[in-house]
Amino acid sequence: MLMIYMQQQQQYVTTNHDDGHSLLLKLSENDPLFHKKKKLLQLLGISPDECIHLKAPYTAVVLNSVLDQLLQKARIMTFNEVDLYFDATDVIQLVKFNNPRNELEALHSVLLLIDNSILSAKHLRVDVLQDLREMILDKINALGNKIRQDTVLAQNVSCDKETCLLQWGEGAGVQTKLDIAYVEGAGRGAIARENLKAGDIALEIPVTVIISEEAVHKSDMFPILEKFEGITSETMLLLWSMKEKHNRDSNFKFYFDALPAVFNTGLSFGVDALLELDGTLLLEEIVQAKEINPHIMQYGKVDSTTNSLKFPLSRPCNAGEQCFLSYGKLSCSHLVTFYGFSTQADNPYDVIPIDLDLHDADDSENGSQMSDWTMHMVRGTWLSKNHEIFNYGLPSPLLDHLRELRVLLCSQIPLRKKTWQLNWKYS
């Protein structure tokens, strides 16, 4: 899995003192889920702003304890809205392994904290932090081995265009440890040339060969495009790309030549395919996507020191093994719509939104700790960790809301003062 980590919602603080070292994963107040995450951390007895102290003796037991505490906090801090909604009420499971994606992000959050601590440590024995770092890498390697997939290359498939693309890129300054090949049952993929470790830069692209706003601004189209009132930079990029694709002298000729002749995504589905999807969330997503076009992917930030875009590995990838680009915590309908594929395994982000609006309902102090949810969801109950009676694998925020609704409807309060609306979206 080839992933970029843009740590925007977490702050990393490290301090030295006479009897040890303090590590702090601080939840940023800019996180849109700040209040929910803070409430959960407090519920688990974890202070959002409390440092974890690393003190002598630095035994394996002590280091494991520190790492466990950091991971418990990091798992919650890397949750998105779906993770919080479905998993936040299972307090016991919150401090344990949740799912591979969340665990990998949590491990890398802690790894970044340790790396920053090593760089800033002046008085503490750095070898202790190095030991802690190796323990984190061991966990990342173990997780990578657990979720590794066998790579079977397709036979007798020409890669002439792909080879030209690689040669052009490397001639323009691209540094890569990957080859392009066709994988059985999956199409084109990136294959590791050598054994790669977590954190290795698998691909580095200089800005000079990146299609960006800067390229459009330098083109002869920009004086024309900028005259259109309200035109966005994304629309400019698409219009410029459509024209540049047919420019035989384009600097990006080898890139355009390597693009598929036909794109098999949901956005390219014909009428017959769309009719088959009638009544599904996938059709709704495709329709909305066509209305919101253009769709531009933003992979990460350019490294200002090298003026390039870097792709670090989030887990090991052996020579000959396929490396995967992370598309994020997305539903299969979104993946099919924009990227033309779906996951083989169960996807915890395949959810059905439910609009439950209970107007003017009294807030109960003894209700669910997540009673402030305004949008509810359901997903496959087989993904749930709670199948006890009165739960049946359904999310607790939804069950609590329905119970509040039942109490309200059974009360003697006039319905003109207490109204409710239930709108199901189904697939």
- The C-alpha atoms of residue 292 and residue 338 are separated, in whole angstroms, by 12
CA pseudo-torsion sign 212, 216, 217, 218: positive
CATH number given to 160-260+292-329: 3.90.1410.10
User: For position 254, what pLDDT does the model report?
Assistant: 94
Tokens in use for 182?
């066709």
* pLDDT confidence of residue 57: 81
d(CA 355, CA 378): 11
Mean per-residue pLDDT, 379-384: 88
pLDDT tens per residue across span 107-158: 999 999 999 888 876 656 788 889 999 999 999 999 988 888 888 998 888 8
Among 295, 199, 187, 192, smallest CA distance to 238 is for 295
Determine the pLDDT at residue 408.
77
Give yes or no for a cis peptide into 57 (omega within 30° of 0).
yes
Q: Looking only at Cα atoms, what is the longest distance across the chain?
A: 78
The count of other CB atoms within 10 Å of the CB of residue 253 is 16
pLDDT for res 93 = 57
Q: Could you give the percent of the chain with pLDDT greater than 70? A: 83
| Bridge partners for 424 per DSSP | 354
Gyration radius of the chain's alpha carbons: 25
Quote the tokens at residue 141.
Answer: 């390697």
Q: Are 354 and 395 in contact (CB under 8 A)?
A: no
User: What is the spatial distance between Cα 271 and Cα 276, in angstroms, rounded to a whole number?
Assistant: 9
d(Cα 190, Cα 322) in Å, to the nearest integer? 6
Alpha helices, DSSP H, located in 300-412: 332-339, 396-410
Nearest-angstrom CA–CA distance, 74 and 53: 16
Residue 251 reports pLDDT greater than 60: yes
CB 78 within 8 A of CB 109: yes
SS (H, E, C) 258-272: HCCCCCCCHHHCCHH
3-state secondary structure of 334: helix
Write the pLDDT tens digit of every residue in 405-417.
Answer: 888 777 755 544 4
| CA–CA distance, 304 with 300 (Å, rounded to integer) | 12
- C-beta separation of 380 from 350 below 8 A: yes
Domain ranges in the chain? 10-147, 160-260+292-329, 352-424
Domain at 10-147: CATH architecture? Alpha-Beta Complex (3.90)
Strand 322-323 to 352-358 pairing: unpaired
Q: What is the mean pLDDT of residues 64-79?
A: 91
Tokens of 246: 């047919």
Contacts of 177 (CB under 8 A, 6+ apart): 192, 193, 194, 196, 200, 201, 202, 203
Tens digits of residue pLDDT in 159-191? 899 999 999 999 999 999 999 999 998 889 999
> In 9-125, which residue ranges form alpha helices assigned H by DSSP?
34-43, 60-77, 81-87, 91-94, 100-120
CA dist., res. 376 & res. 401, Å (int): 9
Mean pLDDT, range 240-247, rounded to an integer:
92
Cα separation, 147 vs 274, in Å, equals: 34
For the segment 331-370, what is each residue's pLDDT rounded down to a tens digit? 999 999 988 888 888 899 999 888 776 554 444 444 444 4
pLDDT of residue 332: 92
pLDDT tens digits for range 194-243: 999 999 999 999 999 998 888 899 999 999 998 998 888 888 988 999 99
More confident residue, 409 or 252: 252
Phi, psi of 153 (to 5 degrees): -80, 140
Amino acid at position 119, single letter? L
Q: Rounded mean pLDDT of 376-401?
A: 86
- CA distance linking residue 376 with residue 352, whole number of Å: 9
Q: What is the mean pLDDT of the chain?
A: 82
Per-residue model confidence (pLDDT) at position 190: 93
Q: What pLDDT is attached to residue 99?
A: 81
Residue 323 sits at φ, ψ, to 5 deg, of: -100, 135
Q: Do 318 and 200 touch, CB atoms closer than 8 A?
A: no
**Residues 10, 109 contacting (CB under 8 angstroms):** yes
